[in-house]
Amino acid sequence: MSSRDSTPDDDNMRAMREAMAQSSPPKRTHSTMTGNKDPDNEHTASSTTSGVCTIGTNQNIVSAARQYAERKRLRSDQVTALEVFLNVSRTPLPLRGQDAHRPLGPRNQVEKIVTSKPTFEVSEDCKTNIRKYAPAVLLSSKINVYKGEGITHILTDIIKRHRFDLPPGVEHVPADWAKVLAIVQDALMQTRSKVKKEIGWSLKVNKSDDLCAPLAQHKNIYQLAQAIVKGTQCSVNVVLCACIAVMRAVYLEHPGSKFWDQMDKRLARIRKMGGNDAKKITKYWCSEYYPWTSLEVDQAKHGVQDSYELDETVVDEFQQKIDDLIDIHAVDAATSSTQGDAAAVA
């Protein structure tokens, strides 16, 4: 006799065995065991008194199995499936109930763990960081595009490097990463909208005015730059003002929905003239190399030249960090493209 303590499973198994014992078929009579001696009834007797004993399923066993299932916390649909199994299976009855429930309990626990996993959402802190970086990316002199996937990839690459509080591997889960992309795209769109609106308002005395004011009543480049960077971590400097001067010149030609498309074209021309030389590109933004949209022209044309001094520092510390990350993105993109071309040739 085993010294092991009885468990709830043992109790349920014992209950099912007792239920089976209570439902045993009636004993066969002597005549049934020896067969009918009447030769005329030989086939009839053998067909109705076969030695094979069929054990049916009764309600005692079903009830015991149901209690066993409830103890294992099976769902109602699983209990129903268990009852069907007991009625159709040829396995000995006590084993049927135990074997049928055995894989269901652990599976329910796994499903509970999986279904209880919280749905991924972009945190408010992460949203704040994305919205902080978007203006610095869009106002950088290092970018090669203002719209579309290109600018989105630049900002998402920065996010992947900093991570903020994003969980590891979130970029490999399409449904979760789509939520991050939506925040990125919205932040860039809001920044573009603000820049364009501020440029339009800089040409008027009041924002609600339909017509542009005389040139002398426009905001000068310093005032416009201040309005654009308000609420961001960007600061006003020569390079930023030069970029905004180009934007205002393009806006005067294309104030409608094609403004950013035209800016992409102008940006492509500037970068083509400068080649891969960052210093030359900055000169094309800032100086007489591109006179009809230069900073000097904007200063002479728009607003009153109040006593202000532009910071001669190329960029501030925060903007420099963003510019460096954009350079890294460009190098990585070029490397990936080169490797892809090499693989295609191979």
Q: Is the pLDDT of residue 176 over 80?
A: yes
Q: Is the pLDDT of residue 93 over 70?
A: no
Question: Is 346 part of a structural domain of the chain?
Answer: no
Q: Is the pLDDT of residue 333 over 90?
A: no
pLDDT band at residue 339 under the 50/70/90 scheme = very low
Domain end (from 91, 115, 139): 115
What per-residue confidence (pLDDT) applies to 12? Answer: 57
Does 214 lie in the same domain as 138?
yes
Question: Is 344 part of a structural domain of the chain?
Answer: no
Buried-state track 181-190, b at ≥16 Cβ within 10 A, e below 16 = bebbbebbee
Does 332 lie in the same domain as 220?
yes
Across the range 4-12, mean pLDDT stands at 58
Question: Is 135 part of a structural domain of the chain?
Answer: yes
pLDDT band at residue 108 under the 50/70/90 scheme = low
Does 225 lie in the same domain as 330?
yes
Question: Is 345 part of a structural domain of the chain?
Answer: no
Give the mean pLDDT of the chain. 76
Domain end (from 75, 90, 115): 115
Question: Is 325 part of a structural domain of the chain?
Answer: yes
Does 253 lie in the same domain as 162?
yes
For 190-205, the pLDDT digits (tens) are 999 999 999 999 999 9
Does 21 lie in the same domain as 144?
no
Distance separating alpha carbons of residues 127 and 184, to the nearest angstrom: 8
What per-residue confidence (pLDDT) applies to 111? Answer: 56
Does 329 lie in the same domain as 193?
yes
Number of domains in the chain: 2
Task: Say what the alpha-carbon torsion angle 330, 335, 340, 343 is, to the nearest 10 degrees.
Answer: 170
What per-residue confidence (pLDDT) applies to 338? Answer: 37
Question: Is 219 part of a structural domain of the chain?
Answer: yes
3-state secondary structure the chain: CCCCCCCHHHHHHHHHHHHHHHCCCCCCCHHHHHCCCCHHHHHHHHHHCCCCCCCCCCHHHHHHHHHHHHHCCCCHHHHHHHHHHHHHCCCCHHHHHHHHHCCHHHHHHHHHHHHCCCCCCCCHHHHHHHHHHHHHHHCCCCCCCCCHHHHHHHHHHHHHHHCCCCCCCHHHCHHHHHHHHHHHHHHHHHHHHHHHHHHHHCCCCCCCCCCCCCHHHCCCHHHHHHHHHCCCCCCCCHHHHHHHHHHHHHHHHCCCCCHHHHHHHHHHHHHHHHCCCHHHHHHHHHCCCCHHHCHHHHHHHCCCCCCCCCCCCCCCHHHHHHHHHHHHHHHHHHHHHHHHHHHHHC
For 273-316, the pLDDT digits (tens) are 877 677 777 777 766 455 555 788 898 899 987 767 776 666 78
Higher pLDDT, 316 or 60: 316
Distance separating alpha carbons of residues 234 and 136, to the nearest angstrom: 6
Place of tokens 């960029």: 315
pLDDT band at residue 126 under the 50/70/90 scheme = very high
Range of the domain at 302: 124-337
Does 136 lie in the same domain as 32?
no
Does 254 lie in the same domain as 231?
yes
Q: Is the pLDDT of residue 331 over 90?
A: no
Does 137 lie in the same domain as 93?
no
Distances (CA, A) of 319 to 102, 153, 194, 322: 62, 18, 19, 5
Higher pLDDT, 134 or 8: 134
Tell me if the pTM is above 0.85.
no
CB atoms under 10 Å from CB of 148, counted, come to: 12
Higher pLDDT, 257 or 114: 257
Does 194 lie in the same domain as 260?
yes
For 233-287, the pLDDT digits (tens) are 999 988 899 899 999 999 999 999 999 999 999 988 888 887 767 777 777 776 6
What per-residue confidence (pLDDT) applies to 67? Answer: 76
Does 159 lie in the same domain as 261?
yes
Question: Is 342 part of a structural domain of the chain?
Answer: no
What per-residue confidence (pLDDT) applies to 213? Answer: 93
Percent of residues, the chain, with pLDDT higher than 70: 64
Domain end (from 115, 144, 165): 115
For 14-57, the pLDDT digits (tens) are 655 555 555 445 555 554 444 454 444 444 444 444 444 444 55
Higher pLDDT, 44 or 64: 64
Question: Is 184 part of a structural domain of the chain?
Answer: yes
Does 130 lie in the same domain as 110?
no
